Amino acid sequence: AYAFALQHGGFTRYPYDTKEGYASGDRDIAASVRTSRQFLQDGHQAQHSHFRVRGGNRLGWDLGHSSFDPGTFGGNRAQIWSGHVTANYLESKTALLEGGYGLASFQDPSPRTGFSFELNLELFPRKPWTGGVRYEGSYLHSHPFHDLSAHLGMAWKWFGASLGYRAFFTPIFNEHGPEAALNIWF
């Protein structure tokens, strides 16, 4: 509600609802799916997926899931689930900044659930190039958890691919490594 009441920092309904818009434009509501594989230290891997919905009214939501190989955090297969209600705070032809507030759960194997927030900056400097930085901070059972990622990529119509780096920090373990992702916008 606070984001909706603010004066908009850019074009009110760009980059999705005009023909010149990002990922072929021409829509009031945009959704994206991102799936990636991350290569961690000691040969471990993580799989990440993210589903995001944005509306012309500057509000949206997202769901995220990360799954780490057994042994990454010392035992079973660790998983992280998160969901946020998001608001678009800045939008222009070349950038989109949004923030969100919600819940996250870290399961290894018993769940630790708590409040979470995110900041997401997407850049579209010039077709077909894309970029972005995302931070998610969670406070789970009196412990802070941090997920930070950055990527550069290319998009063609509704499809995109990117390469980047992702870091996950917990009070006990830190994991980081390169990440390769595929994106679909619809």
What are the tens digits of pLDDT across the range 48-98? 999 998 877 778 899 999 998 887 776 677 889 999 999 887 777 778 889
pLDDT tens profile 135-179: 999 998 888 999 999 999 998 878 889 999 999 998 877 889 999
- On whether the CB atoms of residues 56 and 44 are closer than 8 A, the answer is no
Share of the chain above pLDDT 70, in %: 83
Peptide bond into 15 cis (omega under 30): yes
Handedness of CA 140, 84, 120, 33 (dihedral sign): positive
Pairwise CA distance, residues 102 & 72, whole Å: 26
In degrees rounded to 5, what are phi and psi of residue 155?
A: -125, 145
Name the pTM for this structure: 0.85
Asked if 92 and 10 count as a contact pair (C-beta separation under 8 A), the reply is yes
